[in-house]
C-alpha cells in the first residue's frame, strides 16, 4: 500500500505531465475525454466556456464542477483557489472579485504554477498570484480569505482533514468555501482503489459522501450545503484496464455511485464582544 507521500508524488508527476499539454492535446492523446478514453483526468470536467473571465489557455479540463459559479464571490473579495492548475478557476474568480479584489492560487506542481503565472502575465492581471505550496500547509496567513474555492483537488489528497483545517485557518471569520469534488456512495472494487492512474484521475482517491460531509462539519464549519450533484459514469474501456467484463457488469449492477458534488460551508463569524452588565466598562 502506498504512503501519503508516495501518493502525492504520483499526483505531482501525473499533473506535471498534463501541464505541458493544452486541453485539446489532452483530449486527442487520450489524457482527456476526447475520442478515446484511456485516461480519466478530465472525464468529469464541466463546461467553463460561457463564464466571464474564461481563458482557454488556462483550461486543461481537469475539474469536476464549477465551484466559482456557486461561490458567492463579491467585488473586492480575496479568493484562494486550492490546486489552481493553469489558473482557470482563478481567472473566473477574478472576473467576479474585480480589480479591487485579490485571487491567490496554490499548487504543488511546479509546471502548473509556471503555466498559471505565464497565463496571468499574458492577460495583464496584477491581482492574481500563484504560489507553490502544499494545500495541507498553505503558504498563506490566517484569516486572509473571504472565499476559498477548489475544483476536483481534495480527492487527490490522502489526508483531507488536514486540508479542511487549513481552509478553516485561512478563511476570515464569516468567510466561506465552495468546493467541487468526487465522492462515493458504496465501496469501489479493490482493483480500482489500488489503481494509480485512477487515483491521479480523481476516482479511487474519493471517499464516501457522508464521511466527506462529516469531515467538513467536524472541522468546525457550519451551514454545510450540497449545491450541486451529478453522477459520474466511467466508460467501460477505462474500467477494463482494472477489472474484467464480468466484474464491470457486477460493478454497474451494484448501485455503487461515483458523484461530483459542489459543497458550500461557512466559517462561523467572530463572536460579538460581551457587553452585559459588569462585562464592559
Q: What does the alpha-carbon distance between residue 259 and residue 183 come to, in Å, rounded to a whole number?
A: 5
Q: How high is the pLDDT of residue 31?
A: 34
Task: Specify the higher pLDDT residue, 91 or 52.
Answer: 91
List pLDDT tens digits, range 149-174.
999 888 888 889 999 999 999 999 99
CATH number of 4-266: 3.40.50.150
E-strand stretches of the chain: 78-82, 102-107, 128-132, 145-151, 171-185, 207-208, 222-231, 257-266
All structural domains of the chain with their residue ranges: 4-266
Whole-angstrom distance, CA of residue 270 vs CA of residue 74: 20
Q: Which pLDDT score, from 0 to 100, does residue 190 have?
A: 77
Instruction: Give pTM, 2 decimals.
Output: 0.83
Provide the sign of the torsion angle of the four alpha carbons 270, 137, 4, 255, taken in this order: positive
Split at pLDDT 50, 70, 90, the class of 278 is low
pLDDT digits (tens, 9 = 90+) for 213-258: 999 999 999 999 999 998 887 778 878 888 888 888 888 888 788 8
Amino acid at each position: 500500500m502506498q504512503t501519503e507521500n508516495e501518493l502525492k508524488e504520483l499526483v505531482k508527476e501525473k499533473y506535471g505531465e498534463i501541464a505541458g499539454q493544452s486541453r485539446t492535446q489532452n483530449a486527442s492523446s487520450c489524457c482527456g475525454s476526447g475520442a478515446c478514453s484511456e485516461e480519466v483526468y478530465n472525464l468529469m470536467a464541466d463546461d467553463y466556456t460561457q463564464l466571464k473571465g474564461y481563458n482557454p489557455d488556462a483550461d486543461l479540463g481537469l475539474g469536476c464542477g464549477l465551484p466559482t459559479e456557486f461561490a458567492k464571490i463579491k467585488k473586492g473579495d480575496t479568493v484562494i483557489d486550492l490546486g489552481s492548475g493553469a489558473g482557470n478557476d482563478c481567472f473566473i474568480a477574478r472576473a467576479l472579485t474585480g480589480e479591487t479584489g485579490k485571487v491567490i492560487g496554490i499548487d504543488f506542481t511546479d509546471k502548473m504554477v509556471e503555466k498559471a503565472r505565464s497565463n496571468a502575465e499574458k492577460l495583464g492581471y496584477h491581482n492574481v498570484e500563484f504560489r507553490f505550496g502544499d494545500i495541507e500547509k498553505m503558504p498563506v496567513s490566517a484569516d486572509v480569505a473571504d472565499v476559498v474555492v477548489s475544483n476536483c483537488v481534495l480527492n487527490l489528497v490522502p489526508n483531507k482533514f488536514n486540508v479542511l483545517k487549513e481552509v478553516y485557518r485561512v478563511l476570515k471569520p464569516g468567510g466561506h468555501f465552495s468546493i467541487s469534488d468526487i465522492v462515493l456512495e458504496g465501496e469501489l472494487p479493490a482493483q480500482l482503489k489500488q489503481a494509480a492512474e485512477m487515483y491521479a484521475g480523481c476516482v479511487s482517491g474519493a471517499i464516501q459522501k457522508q464521511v466527506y460531509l462529516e469531515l467538513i462539519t467536524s472541522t468546525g464549519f457550519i451551514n454545510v450545503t450540497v449545491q450541486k450533484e451529478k453522477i459520474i459514469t466511467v466508460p467501460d474501456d477505462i474500467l477494463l484496464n482494472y477489472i474484467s467484463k464480468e466484474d464491470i457488469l457486477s460493478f454497474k449492477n451494484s448501485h455503487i455511485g461515483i458523484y461530483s458534488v459542489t459543497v458550500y460551508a461557512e466559517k462561523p463569524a467572530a463572536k460579538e464582544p460581551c457587553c452585559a452588565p459588569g462585562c464592559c466598562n
